[in-house]
Amino acid sequence: MRRVELRRAAAFLCALAIAAAASAQSPALSSWNDGEAKTRILDFVRAVTDPKGKDFVAPADRIAVFDNDGTLWAEQPLYFQALFMLDQVKAAAPKHPEWKDNPAFKALVAQDKAAIEKMGMKPVLELLAQANSGMTVAEYDATIRNWLATARHPKYQRPYTELTYLPMRELLDYLRANGFSTFIVSGGSVEFMRPWAEKAYGIPPEQVIGSQMEVKFEMKDGKPVLTREAKIAFVDDGPGKPVGIYRHIGKRPILAFGNSDGDFQMLQVTTAGEGRRLGLIVHHDDAAREYAYDRQSHIGKLDKALDAAPANHWIVVSMKSDWKKVFAFDK
Amino acid sequence: MRRVELRRAAAFLCALAIAAAASAQSPALSSWNDGEAKTRILDFVRAVTDPKGKDFVAPADRIAVFDNDGTLWAEQPLYFQALFMLDQVKAAAPKHPEWKDNPAFKALVAQDKAAIEKMGMKPVLELLAQANSGMTVAEYDATIRNWLATARHPKYQRPYTELTYLPMRELLDYLRANGFSTFIVSGGSVEFMRPWAEKAYGIPPEQVIGSQMEVKFEMKDGKPVLTREAKIAFVDDGPGKPVGIYRHIGKRPILAFGNSDGDFQMLQVTTAGEGRRLGLIVHHDDAAREYAYDRQSHIGKLDKALDAAPANHWIVVSMKSDWKKVFAFDK
């Protein structure tokens, strides 16, 4: 067999294998209740994968982007990364005796909301940056992994990595089984997501896009290392998300899924493209199983994007009525 | 068949298909002469892909990074992107009557090297930035594609995209056939490489890492667009390359291939990792078929990395003696 023929045969075998894996997942999206959201997702995937249909999209262009906090896992009572960074302030305190006179440190340790509101976020952010920089990226990675293994969510008393949404994990699997590439596009920082995103979502490190701190190359004890600096390099939120997507992927996604106004521009750019597109928003309306919040929330505020959804044909997914289960541990 | 079993069967079929495609490429690296470079590359790939060997690396961690200018394609007499950007200055001139009094513009148009050396690079770079910003990224992409389709290299009188190195394209194919992911990590900017890298190298846009201009999200005629700004956001060169790799891939590569001191730190970080690693440098020593330059060159200067190669066991690939052909059009 000639090389070109063998390649074709290989491609054909792979396509068969992928199709077999896809059909094995039937029924797809089993944690989703029947309804408009599920129907429109299934319709969309059918349309863009039908090689004879007018909406067909080649696998290389089946790019799907997902916000993380509040879209793939929970984000209340505070972004989990913020909780981690606060814990780093406490852990670093013994090495910083000078902090005991720092009003921001005192307010954080005492959880004194009134004092923080009075002083503003600047001194708090400076303290967080100081406690979360100066080490090599490998050292910081070890700290993140250790925290994830031991910290527990205040409401659920479970590791944070168990607070991923089961219906979203099913959707990610379903899209990949249909030839999509799935990317995280988060306001959180890349290094906080990468250690667990592959296991939790099947998304490898190179498909995680996020905010970035400055890191610096240097030689340390004869070894090349990257050291974290106390300076933000890029904020992957709001209008930053389309920039992150452009820089990292270089293609316009055909599907975007978010949950807050921080995802507004990502949804706009995705659904403004030619051909068939899908925009989706998780609406947190489930106080019983998770949390209920939108326009007034200080975390994951959903206001402008909610108003813009109908005109843009974005699907507003109700956590309460569209999802049979929220978490894998739900009964 | 249960879902898990079907998945395993699918994975097995895919592995078979990939192995078939790989073996179909025999003999591997046919444009490489037999010698130390070729032998060590083949040995390395055999070692990291042998599931029973001590050097085995799982496919997900088989990350290979390649510089572009001077490593995958030519870079003389001037980086091709610089030639493109200069052409944009000329193209934009009618819209900028004020430039006729700009000494940098006059020197560029007249190719007056002495004048440029006298004024320094700053006014030249400012002019280049001005002529290559202000448009949407889609408009700029169209300009790049048009230039690539029409511009010709002064020495070879061929489109620049024909000046890729055949042995390197074979190496990229060979690595991917053995389960590697191949990334470009270039000092050039992402938008200049993406339009042609997939066709030329089989490297899709999301695996192209490079320098970045600031881009800005905005609404224009009711459509969301990204506009190029005249400001550099990130320089992916020298110590910037390990930073670009960290941010984009999040894993330490096991193979790095460069050609200049701009690749020094990328080679260091790659080969300082644990387990088996490979660092390689293209040495431009072929004045007959391409160019001969290293320590004294103003483009692609290779000095420190050349000195450091022996102690680090980096392979210095001689274009003259290791490659049967340089370009596909060579006889």
Q: Which of B2, B7, B13, B208 to mutate to test the interface with A (most CBs of A within 10 A)?
A: B13
Res. A4: pLDDT tops 70: no
User: Using a CB-CB distance cutoff of 8 angstroms, which residues of chain A are in contact with residue B251?
Assistant: 205-206
Residue A157's SS3 state is coil
Which among A20, A240, A248 has CB closest to B10? A20
Are B116 and B108 spatial neighbours (Cβ–Cβ below 8 Å)?
A: yes
Long-range contacts of range B303-309, CB-CB < 8 Å, 24 or more positions apart? Answer: B303/B261, B304/B261, B304/B264, B305/B258, B305/B260, B305/B261, B305/B263, B305/B264, B305/B267, B305/B281, B306/B281, B308/B264, B308/B267, B308/B268, B309/B279, B309/B281
Asked if A235 has any chain B CB less than 8 Å from its own CB, the reply is no
List phi, psi (to 5°) of A202. Answer: 70, 20
Buried/exposed code over B213-233 (b: 16+ C-beta within 10 A; e: otherwise): bebebeeeeeebbbbbeeeee
Mean pLDDT of chain A: 93
> Distance between CA A242 and CA B73 in Å, rounded?
30
β-bridge pairing B315-318 and B278-283: parallel
C-alpha A179/C-alpha A208 separation (Å) is 18
> The whole model's pTM is what?
0.92
Picking from A2, A13, A272, the nearest residue to B223 by CB comes out as: A272
Of A24, A242, A243, the CB nearest to B6: A24
Long-range contacts of A252-255 (CB under 8 A, 24+ apart): A252/A63, A253/A63, A253/A64, A253/A65, A253/A183, A254/A48, A254/A57, A254/A61, A254/A62, A254/A63, A254/A64, A254/A278, A255/A44, A255/A63, A255/A64, A255/A65, A255/A175, A255/A180, A255/A279, A255/A280
From first to last of its 331 residues, chain B has per-residue pLDDT tens of: 455 555 566 666 666 555 555 555 457 899 999 999 999 999 999 999 999 999 999 999 999 999 999 999 999 999 999 999 999 999 999 999 999 999 999 988 888 888 888 888 888 888 998 999 999 999 999 999 999 999 999 999 999 999 999 999 999 999 999 999 999 999 999 999 999 999 999 999 999 999 999 999 999 999 999 999 999 999 999 999 999 999 999 999 999 999 999 999 999 999 999 999 999 999 999 999 999 999 999 899 999 999 999 999 999 999 999 999 999 999 9
Give the position of tokens 């009618």: B94
The pLDDT of residue B66 is 98
The per-residue pLDDT for B9 is: 61
Return the residue in B1, B217, B249 with the most chain A beta carbons within 10 A, the one to mutate for interface testing: B217
**B309 vs B302: CA distance, rounded Å:** 11
Inter-chain residue contact A217 with B205, CB threshold 8 Å: no
Interchain contact A136–B (C-beta under 8 A): no
3-state secondary structure of A328: coil
Residue A288, chain B, CB below 8 Å: the answer is no
Asked if B164 contacts B72 with a C-beta cutoff of 8 angstroms, the reply is: yes
Query: Ramachandran region of residue A132, left (φ > 0), alpha (ψ -120 to 50) or beta?
Result: alpha
β-bridge partners, A164: A73
Which site among A182, A217, A219 would you substitute to test the B interface, given the most B Cβ atoms closer than 10 Å to its Cβ? Answer: A217
pLDDT (tens digit per residue) in A115-170: 888 888 888 888 998 999 999 999 999 999 999 999 999 999 999 999 999 999 99
Q: What is the DSSP letter of A20?
A: H
Does residue A25 have a pLDDT over 60? Answer: no
Phi-psi category of A299—alpha, beta or left, where left has phi over 0 and alpha has psi -120 to 50? beta
Position A55 scores a pLDDT of 98
Residues forming beta bridges with residue A183, ordered by sequence position: A65
Between B6, B18, B243, which is nearest A226 by CB?
B243
No. of helices (H) and no. of strands (E), chain A: 13, 7
Order of all β-strands in the sheet with B181-189: B223-234, B208-220, B181-189, B63-66, B255-258, B278-283, B315-318
Contact at 8 Å (CB) between B303 and B261?
yes
Provide the chain B residues 3-42 that lie in CB contact (below 8 A) with chain A.
3, 6-7, 9-11, 13-14, 16-18, 20-21, 24-25
The answer, for A190 touching chain B at a CB cutoff of 8 Å, is yes
Contacts (Cβ under 8 Å, ≥6 apart) of B92: B130, B131
Q: Beta-carbon neighbour count of residue A15 at 10 Å? A: 15
Q: Which of A260, A195, A187, A203 is nearest to A63 (CA)?
A: A203
Q: Say if CB B146 and CB B154 are below 8 A apart.
A: no
Q: Partners of B138 in the beta sheet?
A: none
B168 vs A199, B71, B269, B319, CA distance in Å? 34, 8, 22, 11
* Class of residue B322 by CB neighbours under 10 A (exposed 0-12, middle 13-18, buried 19+): buried
What band does A74 get if pLDDT is binned at 50, 70 and 90? very high
Q: Which residues of A touch B234 (CB under 8 A)?
A: 233
Query: What is the number of H-type helices and E-type strands within chain B?
Result: 13, 7
- Chain B contact for A274, CB < 8 A? no
Does residue A204 sit at the B interface (CB-CB below 8 Å)? yes
CB contact under 8 A, B9 and A1: no
- Name every chain A residue with its beta carbon within 8 A of the beta carbon of B14: 13-14, 17-18
pLDDT for A112 equals 86
pLDDT at residue A324, rounded to an integer = 98
- 8 Å CB contact of B246 and A16: no
Closest CA to B184 of B211, B144, B161, B160: B211
The shortest CB-CB distance from B60 to any of A1, A204, A248 is to A204
The CA distance from B140 to the nearest CA of chain A, in Å, is 13
Tell me if residue B299 falls in helix, strand or coil.
coil
Contact B205 A21 (CB under 8 A): no
List, for residues A221-273, the tens digit of each pLDDT value: 999 999 999 999 999 999 999 999 999 999 999 999 999 999 999 999 999 99
B224 at interface of A, judged by CB pairs closer than 8 A: yes
Whole-angstrom Cα distance, residue B237 to residue B264? Answer: 9
Q: How confident is the model at residue A18 (pLDDT cuts 50, 70, 90)?
A: low
Helices (H), A183-237: 190-201
Whole-angstrom distance between the N-terminal and C-terminal Cα of chain B?
54
- Residue B244's nearest CA partner among B207, B215, B274 is B207
Question: B39: helix, coil or strand?
Answer: helix
Question: Measured at the alpha carbon of residue A257, what is the angle toward residues A256 and A260, in degrees to the nearest 5?
Answer: 120
Which pLDDT belongs to residue A97? 93
Interface check for A58 against chain B (CB to CB < 8 A): the answer is no
pLDDT of residue B116: 83
Could you give the CA distance from residue A55 to residue A277 in angstroms, rounded to a whole number?
9
State yes or no: pLDDT of A21 exceeds 90: no
Contact B194 A250 (CB under 8 A): yes
SS3 A11: helix
Distance CA B175, CA B167 (A): 12
Q: What DSSP string runs through B233-287?
A: EE--STTHHHHHHHHHT-S--SEEEE-SGGGHHHHHHHHTSSS--EEEEEE-B-T
Between chain A and chain B, the number of residue pairs with CB atoms below 8 A apart is: 126
- Chain B partners within 8 Å of A217 (Cβ): 239-240, 242-243, 265, 269
**Mean pLDDT for the stretch of residues A33-59:** 98
Question: What pLDDT shows up at residue A89?
Answer: 93
End-to-end CA distance of chain A: 54
Integer CA distances (angstroms), B313 to A53, B62, B272, in order = 54, 19, 11
Cross-chain CB nearest to B25 (options A3, A207, A251): A3
Amino acid type, B35? G
| Residues B65 and B245: beta-carbon distance below 8 Å | yes
**Chain A, nearest residue to B25 by Cα:** A3
Query: A221 burial class (0-12, 13-18, 19+ CB within 10 angstroms)?
Result: exposed
Return the residue in B229, B232, B247 with the most chain A beta carbons within 10 A, the one to mutate for interface testing.
Answer: B247
Taking the CA atoms of chain A, what radius of gyration do you get in angstroms? 22
